Amino acid sequence: MITNPAPALFLAAAVSVRAAGILADGSHVAVEAGPHPAGGRTVTVAAAVRLPVAPAPVLAVTNETVLLSGDAPAGWSKGARLKALSARDVNASGAFVPGSLEIRRAAGGEALRVGEDVLVDEVWGHVGVGPSGRAATNEAALAGYRYSLRRMDTIQVSADGVATLKAGEPHISAPAPPPADPGCAAIAHVFVDHRGAAVAQGNIYPILESPAQAVTGTTRGRIPRTLAKLRAGGAVTIVCCGDSVTAGGNASKPELGYVDVFAAGLRERFPKAALTVTNLSAGGSNSRQWLYPDRFPYRGRPAAETGVDFQRVLDAKPDLVTIEFVNDCGLSPAQVEEGYGDLLGRVRGVGAELILITPHFTMPKMMNFANERGVEARPYVLTLRAFAERNGLAVADASARWEHLWKEGLPYTTLLHNTINHPDDRGHRLFAEELWKCFEGP
Q: Which of 148, 177, 198 is the last residue of a domain?
A: 148
Judgement on whether residues 141 and 154 belong to the same structural domain of the protein: no
Count the Cβ atoms, other than its own, within 10 Å of residue 434.
27
pTM over 0.85: yes
Q: Is position 433 within any domain?
A: yes
Average pLDDT rounded to a whole number, residues 184-196 = 94
Q: Which of 189, 208, 227 is the last residue of a domain?
A: 208
Q: What CATH number has the domain bearing residue 249?
A: 3.40.50.1110
**Exposed / middle / buried, residue 135 (Cβ in 10 Å: 0-12, 13-18, 19+):** buried
User: 130-163, pLDDT tens digit by residue?
Assistant: 999 999 999 999 999 999 999 999 999 999 999 9
E-strand spans in 329-406? Answer: 353-357, 394-396
Least confident of 142-151, 188-197, 207-216, 354-363: 188-197
With a cut of 70, say whether residue 196 has pLDDT above it. no
User: 264-280, pLDDT tens digit by residue?
Assistant: 999 999 999 999 999 99
Task: Report d(CA 153, CA 186) in Å as an integer.
Answer: 10
- pLDDT tier, 235 (very low <50, low <70, confident <90, very high otherwise): very high
The reported pLDDT for the residue numbered 442 is 73
With a cut of 50, say whether residue 6 has pLDDT above it. no
Helix axes 258-269, 425-437, angle to 10 degrees: 40
Judgement on whether residues 71 and 219 belong to the same structural domain of the protein: no
- pLDDT tier, 323 (very low <50, low <70, confident <90, very high otherwise): very high
Judgement on whether residues 196 and 119 belong to the same structural domain of the protein: no
Judgement on whether residues 189 and 332 belong to the same structural domain of the protein: no
With a cut of 90, say whether residue 7 has pLDDT above it. no
Judgement on whether residues 227 and 92 belong to the same structural domain of the protein: no
Contacts 24+ apart (CB under 8 A), 412-417: 412/361, 412/372, 413/363, 413/364, 413/372, 414/150, 414/152, 414/173, 414/174, 414/175, 414/176, 414/191, 415/174, 416/173, 416/174, 416/361, 416/362, 416/363, 417/87, 417/88, 417/173, 417/174, 417/250
Mean pLDDT of the chain: 94
With a cut of 70, say whether residue 3 has pLDDT above it. no
Task: Report d(CA 68, CA 114) in Å as an integer.
Answer: 12
The reported pLDDT for the residue numbered 441 is 82
Judgement on whether residues 165 and 22 belong to the same structural domain of the protein: yes
| Residue 17 dihedral angles phi and psi, to the nearest 5° | -120, 135
User: 280-316, pLDDT tens digit by residue?
Assistant: 999 999 999 999 999 999 999 999 999 999 999 999 9
Q: Which of 132, 148, 164 is the last residue of a domain?
A: 148
Structurally, the chain folds into a number of domains equal to: 3
Q: Is position 413 within any domain?
A: yes
User: 13-44, pLDDT tens digit by residue?
Assistant: 333 334 459 999 999 999 999 999 999 999 99
Q: Is position 442 within any domain?
A: no
Let me know: does 121 contact 53? Beta carbons within 8 Å.
no
Average pLDDT rounded to a whole number, residues 163-179 = 98
With a cut of 60, say whether residue 12 has pLDDT above it. no
The reported pLDDT for the residue numbered 88 is 93
Residue type, 178: P
With a cut of 90, say whether residue 361 has pLDDT above it. yes
The reported pLDDT for the residue numbered 2 is 29
Q: Is position 372 within any domain?
A: yes
Q: Is position 200 within any domain?
A: yes
User: 328-349, pLDDT tens digit by residue?
Assistant: 999 999 999 999 999 999 999 9
Judgement on whether residues 302 and 398 belong to the same structural domain of the protein: yes
Q: Which of 107, 110, 199 is nearest to 153 (CA)?
A: 199
Judgement on whether residues 242 and 350 belong to the same structural domain of the protein: yes
User: 83-107, pLDDT tens digit by residue?
Assistant: 999 999 999 999 999 999 999 999 9
Q: Which of 188, 172, 138 is nearest to 61 (CA)?
A: 172
User: 43-80, pLDDT tens digit by residue?
Assistant: 999 999 999 999 989 999 999 999 999 999 999 999 99
Judgement on whether residues 174 and 246 belong to the same structural domain of the protein: no
Q: Is position 219 within any domain?
A: yes
Domain that holds residue 328: 212-437
Q: Which of 93, 136, 120 is nearest to 362 (CA)?
A: 93
With a cut of 60, say whether residue 9 has pLDDT above it. no
Q: Is position 340 within any domain?
A: yes
Judgement on whether residues 266 and 304 belong to the same structural domain of the protein: yes
Judgement on whether residues 75 and 166 belong to the same structural domain of the protein: no
Judgement on whether residues 269 and 418 belong to the same structural domain of the protein: yes
Q: Is position 326 within any domain?
A: yes
User: 105-115, pLDDT tens digit by residue?
Assistant: 999 888 999 99
